Amino acid sequence: MSVTMESCNCVEPPWPADELLMKYQYISDFFIALAYFSIPLELIYFVKKSAVFPYRWVLVQFGAFIVLCGATHLINLWTFGMHSRTVAVVMTTAKVLTAVVSCATALMLVHIIPDLLSVKTREIFLKNKAAELDREMGLIRTQEETGRHVRMLTHEIRSTLDRHTILKTTLVELGRTLALEECALWMPTRTGLELQLSYTLRHQNPVEFTVPIQLPVINQVISTNRAVKISPNCPVARLRPLAGKYMPGEVVAVRVPLLHLSNFHINDWPELSTKRYALMVLMLPSDSARQWHGHELELVEVVADQVAVALSHAAILEESMRARDLLMEQNVALDRARREAETAIRARNDFLAVMNHEMRTPMHAIIALSSLLQETELTPEQRLMVETILKSGNLLATLINDVLDLSRLEDGSFQLEIRTFNLHALFRELLNLIKPIASVKKLSVLLSLAPDLPEYAVGDEKRLMQIILNVVGNAVKFTKEGSISITAFIEKSESLRDPRAPEFFPVPSDSHFYLRVHVKDSGSGITPQDIPKLFTKFAQSQSLATRNSGGSGLGLAICKRFVNLMEGHIWIESEGLGKGCTAIFIVKLGIPERVNESKLPFVPKVPTIHGRTNFPGLKVLVMDDNGVNRTVTKELLVHLGCDVTTVSSGDECLQVVSQEHKVVFMDISVPGNTDRVTKENCLRLGMDGVILKPVSVDKMRSVLSELLDQQVVFGAQ
């Protein structure tokens, strides 16, 4: 602004104008005016563009101020020469306005500038804040990365159950995540006194370094579950010769707890007192001037924990696999043992069966022939001898049966043959068998059956007979004089029990009853000590052995087993030597549903149903000296279901025949063709029938039917 304002007196200047000076002033004023006009325009333009500027009013003021100044200068251009009064007025107005505005602006600035300054400070503050946030973001991101690394590491480590893979993977992943120079794992040796370098990251074949475990630095690391910075010079960190001039990077070590199954206890985890630890050593690159950051240390600690868990899992898995293998081995061994045992039992049974058959055949011969011999004329000495032979033979036969029975009873392969039978008749038969023997010894035998004893019962008749015979037989054997009394009745719950077997409690039901039999004798009695031994096989006490018992000691043992199979109990009571004894047994028998007397003879023969078409299991003996005929007849009978034995001569026939053979076919060669005569002769000799060859299947069938039905063959054929 031009300070030198010339007065507008319209007085001619005192000196003739310096034209040059005037010209310069003229030009300068013009340019000033231009500038003064363009500045606000620029301001307006930029403000319009920015649209954020909060001080519009200020700008307007400034604008006005500048415009007015410009206007003043512009108007000044006219005042250089002669100018009219209007111009002077305009000039004055402009100047006045300018003065006003500028003063106003000056006053406004007093308020505005502090504001503007505070804006600046706020701006600086925000910038700082933004920088801080940036830093924090960076940190968070780093942490998140770390977390991701940990997860990935954990996943890698836990994805395998193989211990070596776990450890190797740990080192590899840690090395990668943290960009380590070297990573090493030291495992405790078996003795626990040293640490051995087991795995490294970069070294391909780690030398078998060991370090004593009691080093202070190691103790320091082991005593805490945090990762500890250790010196690069300590033994565990000196894995490779120093590269020389470079500063080795910082080293961190952390403990890894190792779980061994023997000291694993669920309540102790994770604070176990005598734990084994491995040491993980991590080295930063040697020339990087990197430092261990907090989050990296955390990562290392987390990883160490995960590794411990993974290793424990691996250990448990190993253990369970081992246990399973052991079990499998044991199973195999057990299976083998079982099969061997089964084979042994089978072999024994086969042996027994064969021996049984082999022994029975000559036994039969001896018994049969001795009986026959008895019927002939003999001198008294001869008779005595024959009787002895017979008796011995019978005893031997019984012994053979007993041994076979007992062995079958013992290995559980014995089955009772359950049938409906006549109980009363059984006792009658018993009496018939015993009476003759007893009367020889001049003993009286008394049988009393309870009136409510059912006539028919369901059970194993043969074995029941065996039991009773054995018990009664013993009574007879050991009684020199006096009587034997046999009582049979239904067991009631109030009856006296064996004091030695209180747990035996028979409970009758609708389908079963318990038969109780007492056999009392007035014989020599038994001492209380001997009573338990009675039922033990082969055990004979002195008092028993002095008698010529002639028993093998098996009889009562077998009885006991049969009684047990019949869900019963057997015991002997005696008051002592010379006071006789009472044998008592209880057996469970079934109650038959319907009983048809005609259908149930005491000793059932082959079922007598008329007109059978098949004869399953019927034992037949065929004697024929012609091979072809033998084969044909045998096949015929086999076709009808029979069990056929063939012999080719009369001698052989005698040898083989036994009471098991129900039918015997004998081929007869007679001279001449007179069939009728032959038939008559045969029948007279005692044959049950004659049939002529060749025989058809139908013919054979009807013959067998008739034979079994009527015991004789009718028919003209």
Partner 1 sequence: MDVIVQLQAQFVEYTTSLYREGFLDDQFTQLQKLQDESNPDFVVEVVRLFFEDSEKLLNNLATALQQQCVDYKQVDAHVHQFKGSSSSIGAQRVKNVCVAFRNYCEEKNLEGCLRCLQQAKHEYYLMKSKLETLFRLEQEILAAGGSVPMMT
Enumerate binding residues for partner 1 (CB under 8 A): 625-629, 631-632, 635-636, 638-639, 669, 671-673, 693-694, 696-697
Contact status, residue 287 vs residue 246, Cβ threshold 8 Å: yes
Please tell me the distance from the alpha carbon of residue 61 to that of residue 108, in angstroms, as a whole number: 9
Please tell me the distance from the alpha carbon of residue 33 to that of residue 283, in angstroms, as a whole number: 75
Please tell me the distance from the alpha carbon of residue 176 to that of residue 124, in angstroms, as a whole number: 41
* Smallest distance, partner 1 to C-beta of residue 673, A: 7
Asked whether residue 474 is marked as a ligand-binding residue, the answer is yes
* Smallest distance, partner 1 to C-beta of residue 695, A: 8
* Smallest distance, partner 1 to C-beta of residue 632, A: 5
- Residue 468 or 637 having the CB closest to partner 1: 637
* Smallest distance, partner 1 to C-beta of residue 703, A: 14
Candidates 591, 580, 454, 588; CA nearest to 510 is 591
Provide CB contacts within 8 A for 314, sequence distance 6+: 161, 162, 163, 166
Contact status, residue 535 vs residue 560, Cβ threshold 8 Å: yes
- Residue 176 or 679 having the CB closest to partner 1: 679
Asked whether residue 679 is marked as a ligand-binding residue, the answer is no
Going by the DSSP 8-state scheme, the letter that residue 245 receives in this structure is S
Q: What is the DSSP string of 30-54?
A: HHHHHHHHHHHHHHHHHHHHH---S
- Residue 430 or 703 having the CB closest to partner 1: 703
* Smallest distance, partner 1 to C-beta of residue 376, A: 32
Tokens (6 digits) for 430: 């018993």
* Smallest distance, partner 1 to C-beta of residue 610, A: 24
Asked whether residue 476 is marked as a ligand-binding residue, the answer is yes
* Smallest distance, partner 1 to C-beta of residue 417, A: 28
* Smallest distance, partner 1 to C-beta of residue 701, A: 12
Asked whether residue 581 is marked as a ligand-binding residue, the answer is no
- Residue 308 or 703 having the CB closest to partner 1: 703
- Residue 372 or 670 having the CB closest to partner 1: 670
- Residue 107 or 697 having the CB closest to partner 1: 697
First to last CA, the chain: 172
Task: Tell me if the bond preceding 270 is cis, omega within 30° of 0.
Answer: yes
Long-range CB contacts (< 8 A, 24+ apart) of 158-162? 158/306, 158/309, 158/310, 158/313, 160/310, 161/310, 161/313, 161/314, 161/317, 162/314
* Smallest distance, partner 1 to C-beta of residue 656, A: 22
Contact status, residue 625 vs residue 647, Cβ threshold 8 Å: no
- Residue 230 or 637 having the CB closest to partner 1: 637
Please tell me the distance from the alpha carbon of residue 203 to that of residue 207, in angstroms, as a whole number: 9
* Distances from the Cα of 446 to the Cα of 175, 439, 454, 485, angstroms: 104, 12, 19, 5
Candidates 277, 257, 286; CA nearest to 182 is 286
- Residue 136 or 625 having the CB closest to partner 1: 625
* Smallest distance, partner 1 to C-beta of residue 606, A: 23
Phi, psi (deg, nearest 5) at residue 246: -80, 150
- Residue 444 or 614 having the CB closest to partner 1: 614
Long-range CB contacts (< 8 A, 24+ apart) of 75-80? 76/2, 76/29, 77/26, 77/29, 77/30, 77/33, 79/6, 79/8, 80/22, 80/25, 80/26
Contact status, residue 533 vs residue 541, Cβ threshold 8 Å: yes
Asked whether residue 556 is marked as a ligand-binding residue, the answer is yes
- Residue 275 or 699 having the CB closest to partner 1: 699
Going by the DSSP 8-state scheme, the letter that residue 613 receives in this structure is S
3-state secondary structure of 242: coil
Please tell me the distance from the alpha carbon of residue 105 to that of residue 107, in angstroms, as a whole number: 5
Please tell me the distance from the alpha carbon of residue 519 to that of residue 572, in angstroms, as a whole number: 9
Candidates 645, 642, 640; CA nearest to 618 is 642
* Smallest distance, partner 1 to C-beta of residue 672, A: 7
Provide CB contacts within 8 A for 588, sequence distance 6+: 459, 506, 512, 513, 514, 515, 566, 567, 568
* Smallest distance, partner 1 to C-beta of residue 690, A: 15
- Residue 415 or 673 having the CB closest to partner 1: 673
Asked whether residue 69 is marked as a ligand-binding residue, the answer is yes
Asked whether residue 653 is marked as a ligand-binding residue, the answer is no
3-state secondary structure of 419: strand
Asked whether residue 96 is marked as a ligand-binding residue, the answer is no
- Residue 20 or 628 having the CB closest to partner 1: 628
Per the annotation, where are the binding residues? Answer: 69, 73, 474-477, 521, 537, 552, 556
**Feature table: binding site for Cu cation:** 69, 73
State the binding site for ADP: 474-477, 521, 537, 552, 556
